[in-house]
Structure 1
Amino acid sequence: MADTSLGTAAQLRDPNYTPPLIKAIPLGIQHVLAMFVSNVTPAIIISGFAGFGYGSDAGALGFPDMTYLIQMSMLFAGIATLLQTITLGPVGAALPIVQGTSFAFIPIMIPLVAGKGTEGLAALFGGVVVGGLFHAMLGTVIGKIRFALPPLVTGLVVMMIGLALVKVGIEYAAGGVPAKQFDKPEYGSLLNWSAASVVIFVTLALKFYARGMLAVSAVLIGIFIGYLYALMMGMVTFEGISTSWGHAQAIAFPSPFKYGFEFSFAAIIGFCLMAFVSAIETVGDVSGITKGGAGREATDREIQGATYADGFGTAFAGIFSGLPNTSFSQNVGLIAMTGVMSRTVVTIGAFFLIICGLIPKVGALILTVPIEVLGGGVIVMFGMVVAAGISMLSDVHWNRRNMVIFAVAISIGLGFQLEAMNLAPGAPNALQQLPDAIRILGASGILPAALIAIILNLILPEHLSDEATEEVSGGMTGHGEGSLGE
């Protein structure tokens, strides 16, 4: 239930209401705690694949670069959140929307940077800027293209994103990403898995048996407990970090085009296509906030402004080597839980993120968390992405037509993804005859699955003949609507 001491029921449902600061400030920090781990995790993952190192490897393999990317994740999450809450002309929804680094783009970014160090980042951030501008353009037509992205398509894409990432969670928990980069004999040891398991068990215990902020911040608290366990087991190292901590500036401002800027066809197409998914996710979050916090439907102006903020926030972040931003769904649930619709509360949280992003020592402190501990949290988070996709698919009417669309899309998309994952470097692959850009996009599995699902959904008739479906499905036609929820 909402805390009525914060204001009257009508005030709590008003985005423009400001609760007493003595309570608004803790509520704002609460929003940051709910999204903090999810926000910095993509920067750590991309840094690891780029070869910057982690933990004890950080000093030799690009600790300053990893710290910088973490800083930018916090800084531009805060700036993008301010665009949503304070607004800038038509940009922003004037709602308590919390922005953060998007998981959706990780499978697109990994092939662009894997093993390339800072060289791969120029193409990546070129894609972020162009993709962000394209994302902003979607704000002008978002209401008109929603018909092409029903739950069958969005649920499939979100599920594919999670499936592409779960391998990263397992590798983190075992000791590194990828294992060959670290070449550690203790990779996959019982000690590594015990640290990850502590995080998972604490997170599950809080999610199911705690209430309020303890439940909302379950992953963050789980990682903190896992960190204490790793510290006792001698897994925490400060090598390379102590030097950086001592020489780090008190405040460090972002540098434009720090890693260069390059137009890559694969990066631009990948980011633009994934912008569709991110835009639809934001539409869902805006609707969730207005329904859960104010008991009404979102207006066209709010949806359009939120999409503009998504896109321009991402493009602006890319100029300073920040990763793509999107609205964070966990904070939508937090608004429904607290019953406080005030955008001032979220604005306070945004300023807290900006302050953290300007202090390099915050990023250095995050990097003392052992990768195995982070792996436990990542396993939970990426598993929840898969679950979110399945939840969306539960809204699909599972007739024969939709079953065929889903079957073909996931077979090709997941097939490409699994084949690419299991290949040794330099080995022949199913897409090797295609241009490099298309091969990189196809190997993600997500974009082929999305395009196939969208095209088939638009061109196939509403009802397939029984004979055709029986031939495809082998008699397993299915009946009625699926119900994968509670």
Structure 2
Amino acid sequence: MGIQHVLAMFVSNVTPAIILAGAAGFGFGSNSPDFPELLYLIQMSMLFAGIATLFQTITLGPVGAALPIVQGTSFAFIPIMIPLVAGKGVDGLAALFAGVFLGGLFHALLGTVIGKIRFALPPLVTGLVVTMIGLALVKVGIEYAAGGVPLKAQGSEAYGDLASWSVALLVIVVTLGLKFFARGMLSISAVLIGIFVGYVYCILVGKLPVEAISGSWQNAAAFALPTPFKYGFEVSLAAVIGFCLMAFVSAVETVGDVSGITKGGAGREATDKEIAGATYADGVGTAIAGAFGGLPNTSFSQNVGLIAMTGVMSRHVVTIGAIFLIVCGLVPKIGGVIRTIPIEVLGGGVIVMFGMVVASGISMLSDVTWNRRNMVIFAVALSIGLGLQLEAMGTAPGGVDALQHLPETLRVLGASGILPAALIAIVLNLLLPEELAEESTEEVSGGLQGHGAGLRQKDGGH
């Protein structure tokens, strides 16, 4: 049952490391000089997901909720991380992991006040941010499915050809088929099985030579320990501010997951101690991961669903899964095999995963009463945030952009789009008078009678 939890989160856990490596410009072949760095990032993703999960299940003083919470690498931070490392190779990692470390310490401090700041982060704000995170990532999924960024940069005829798309579409079809027509573990592990089917297909059609797999296996060590501050320690103001601000979003997500576990598995509300302990574990796990070259950790919602489905509330089951992750993280050969997954196969998987991130954000927004006040807040925040995000994506390297006159730190933070949107939504939500909530929505909805009360979820699901 512990392995079930690992299967449910495994692909989502290692994918951010692979995306980050691609953004940094790492070579993906087993003969590439960047190959060891790629393995190390995958290895740390597994190792510190396991360690952070142990904090949650076993606890260490006030750190941890003593609940079956599975921790894993967070997608939420990817739009913040990509601008920090884009095209810089290994040189961009010192500032990145210093930001992860310091941001993790700040995240841990949120555990002392998380109960008091939740009022500033209602579903209107968190739903907007999660939706924008997904929208920022869907482009990555399409690029992977079409053959990867390197082929696109080269202007290759192979980019977007039928061979690439057939692989990605096979993964999507298998994933959806299992998700909706299978039951139990087959449904829970649909993305993992879909990627496995795509992997085997690539071997059968010759897209992935068996020699490449054996070469990756042979070139990876059988055992390796993490190295503290392997890439150095370089404090970047943009990195530190970005990780600290996104910590608020991650903390609120964890609060929702803790509540989902206690409601689904025990039929009760989460206690303040459990919420604070889970937030401490989020931050401490992230800080320790950053010190060794790991990425930010957060609770994984798919495992909350697994607990609700099985009804097994034992934290010791999740502890066993955490130990399995730690063992995987200490064996780079496992990372070597993961790295041989063709980019198109991964593309099919992440299209589904990133789409689910968007869907999760929309689900959160369904808890919002869509009156005039909330529609104005959402409209302004989304327009500015998504506009900045899309404009930055369309800027050629070395070209000008809408934020070129800002200091470099503010330029990096603004280009993510997510942080400006979150800040605008929080400020407007706190400042705009509630009287607007009583006014009709006709003026801003083009006559469509979008009465918000009818859009609320009766069960208040997260």
Describe how 1:61-100 pairs up with structure 2 within 5 A. 61-100=33-72
CA distance in structure 2 between the partners assigned to 1:52 and 1:328 by the alignment: 27
Aligned partners of 2:133 and 2:418 also within 8 Å: yes
**Per-residue deviation, 1:474:** 6.1
- Aligned pair 1:344/2:316, yes or no? yes
Aligned partners of 2:72 and 2:300 also within 8 Å: yes
SS of the counterpart of 1:118? helix
The answer for the alignment partner of 1:293 in structure 2 is 265
**Per-residue deviation, 1:469:** 7.5
The answer for the alignment partner of 1:402 in structure 2 is 374
SS of the counterpart of 1:236? coil
**Per-residue deviation, 1:235:** 1.2
The answer for the alignment partner of 2:409 in structure 1 is 437
- Aligned pair 1:164/2:136, yes or no? yes
The answer for the alignment partner of 1:427 in structure 2 is 399
**Per-residue deviation, 1:239:** 6.3
The answer for the alignment partner of 2:161 in structure 1 is 189
CA distance in structure 1 between the partners assigned to 2:439 and 2:174 by the alignment: 51
Describe how 1:12-91 pairs up with structure 2 within 5 A. 27-54=1-28, 57-91=29-63
The answer for the alignment partner of 1:359 in structure 2 is 331
Describe how 1:448-463 pairs up with structure 2 within 5 A. 448-463=420-435
- Aligned pair 1:312/2:246, yes or no? no
SS of the counterpart of 1:369? coil
**CA pair 468-212 structure 1, distance change in 2 beyond 3 A:** closer
**CA pair 101-344 structure 1, distance change in 2 beyond 3 A:** same
CA distance in structure 2 between the partners assigned to 1:482 and 1:162 by the alignment: 26
- Aligned pair 1:115/2:62, yes or no? no
Q: Percent identity?
A: 77
- One-letter code of the match for 1:449? A
Residue among 88, 91, 101 paired with 2:73: 101
**CA pair 182-224 structure 1, distance change in 2 beyond 3 A:** farther
**Per-residue deviation, 1:436:** 1.0
CA distance in structure 2 between the partners assigned to 1:80 and 1:435 by the alignment: 35
**Per-residue deviation, 1:445:** 0.7
- One-letter code of the match for 1:374? L
Deviations 1:369-424 (A, max 9, x none): 10100100000000000000000000000000000000000000000011111121
CA distance in structure 2 between the partners assigned to 1:378 and 1:370 by the alignment: 13
Gaps of 5+ in 2: none
Residue among 134, 157, 178 paired with 1:206: 178
CA distance in structure 1 between the partners assigned to 2:384 and 2:454 by the alignment: 22
Aligned partners of 2:221 and 2:331 also within 8 Å: yes
**CA pair 236-244 structure 1, distance change in 2 beyond 3 A:** closer
CA distance in structure 2 between the partners assigned to 1:160 and 1:238 by the alignment: 39
TM-score, normalization by structure 1? 0.91
**CA pair 437-89 structure 1, distance change in 2 beyond 3 A:** same
**CA pair 477-270 structure 1, distance change in 2 beyond 3 A:** farther
- One-letter code of the match for 1:330? Q
**CA pair 239-452 structure 1, distance change in 2 beyond 3 A:** farther
Work out the number of aligned pairs and report it.
Answer: 458
SS of the counterpart of 1:317? helix
The answer for the alignment partner of 1:140 in structure 2 is 112
**Per-residue deviation, 1:426:** 1.6
- One-letter code of the match for 1:376? G
**Per-residue deviation, 1:471:** 6.8
SS of the counterpart of 1:100? strand
The answer for the alignment partner of 2:225 in structure 1 is 253
Aligned partners of 1:396 and 1:482 also within 8 Å: no
Residue among 244, 269, 272 paired with 1:272: 244
Aligned partners of 2:371 and 2:441 also within 8 Å: no
The answer for the alignment partner of 2:363 in structure 1 is 391
SS of the counterpart of 2:160? coil
Aligned partners of 1:398 and 1:480 also within 8 Å: yes
CA distance in structure 1 between the partners assigned to 2:138 and 2:203 by the alignment: 26
Aligned partners of 2:30 and 2:219 also within 8 Å: no
Task: Select between 209-218 and 229-238 the one with higher mean Cα deviation.
Answer: 229-238
**CA pair 237-270 structure 1, distance change in 2 beyond 3 A:** farther
The answer for the alignment partner of 2:127 in structure 1 is 155
Cα RMSD (Å): 1.9
**CA pair 251-482 structure 1, distance change in 2 beyond 3 A:** farther
Aligned partners of 1:199 and 1:225 also within 8 Å: yes
Task: Select between 245-254 and 307-316 the one with higher mean Cα deviation.
Answer: 245-254
**Per-residue deviation, 1:193:** 0.3
**Per-residue deviation, 1:485:** 7.0
- One-letter code of the match for 1:394? S
The answer for the alignment partner of 1:446 in structure 2 is 418
CA distance in structure 2 between the partners assigned to 1:150 and 1:262 by the alignment: 35
CA distance in structure 2 between the partners assigned to 1:114 and 1:473 by the alignment: 40
Aligned partners of 1:174 and 1:189 also within 8 Å: yes
CA distance in structure 1 between the partners assigned to 2:332 and 2:88 by the alignment: 24
CA distance in structure 2 between the partners assigned to 1:191 and 1:97 by the alignment: 40
TM-score, normalization by structure 2? 0.95
- One-letter code of the match for 1:38? S
SS of the counterpart of 2:435? coil
**Per-residue deviation, 1:479:** 2.2
Aligned partners of 1:245 and 1:361 also within 8 Å: yes
CA distance in structure 2 between the partners assigned to 1:411 and 1:275 by the alignment: 23
**Per-residue deviation, 1:475:** 5.8
CA distance in structure 2 between the partners assigned to 1:237 and 1:183 by the alignment: 24
Residue among 412, 436, 461 paired with 1:464: 436
CA distance in structure 1 between the partners assigned to 2:71 and 2:210 by the alignment: 31
CA distance in structure 2 between the partners assigned to 1:229 and 1:485 by the alignment: 41
**CA pair 241-114 structure 1, distance change in 2 beyond 3 A:** farther
